[in-house]
Amino acid sequence: MTGEAWLALFRRRGAVADGHFLLSSGLHSPIYVQSALILQYPEEAQALGAALAERLRPLRPHVVIGPALGAVVVAHEVARALGVRAIFAERDGGQMALRRGFAIAEGERVLVVEDVITTGGSAAEVASLVGAAGGEVVGFGALVDRTGGRMDLEAPLEALVTLDLPTFAPDRCPQCREGVPVRKPGSRANPS
C-alpha cells in the first residue's frame, strides 16, 4: 500500500483528528494522529507492522525497541514480521530506561520504532539508551512521520506515512492566541 492508502486507513479508523492539540512533545498542532485507535484492531496492527518491517528488513536488526506506551504494539508487530525479539523502553524518574528484565547485548543490532514521530525526541532518547547498553542503532521506523521527511536522526528512518503537519510552540500557537481550548490526548503527563 502507498502512504496515501495507509493514511486513508488511519482516517477510516478515526485515528486522525482536527482541533487544537497538545502533543507529547509539548508542541501544539491543529491535527492529531492517535495511533492507538488503529492499533486496537489486531489485523490492522499486524498489517502495519508487517509493512514497516518489509521496509526495514535490509537493516538486519536483532531486536526491535520502542518507547512505551505508544510504540509497544508497533515494536511487537515489526519484530514479529522480522522474526526477532521485541522490547520496550519506559520512563523511570523522567528518563527512558530498560526495565522488566529487558537487556541489549553488546553489539546487538537494534531497530528503534515509533508510532508517530513529531520531533524525534523519544526516538533519540531510546537510541541513546541503546548506545549506553552497548547496542548499535541500525535504523528507525515509524507508522507516521509528521515532519514531512525532515527528521535528522543518527540512522535511516522509514515511515509508512509521511505528513508535513504544522506544529507550534505554545507561545506562537495561533489557536492559543484565538482562545481555542487545547486538548491533550497524548500519553505523557508532563511533556518535555
Taking only the tens place, the pLDDT of each residue in 123-134 is 999 999 999 999
What is the percent of the chain where pLDDT is above 90? 78
Query: What structural domains does the chain harbor?
Result: 3-177 (3.40.50.2020)
Instruction: Supply the pLDDT for residue 1.
Output: 79
Taking only the tens place, the pLDDT of each residue in 63-119 is 999 999 889 999 999 999 999 999 999 999 989 999 999 999 999 999 999 999 988
What string of DSSP letters covers 7-70? Answer: HHHHHHTT-EEEEEEE-TTS-EEEEEE-THHHHTSHHHHHHHHHHHHHHHGGG--SEEEEETTT
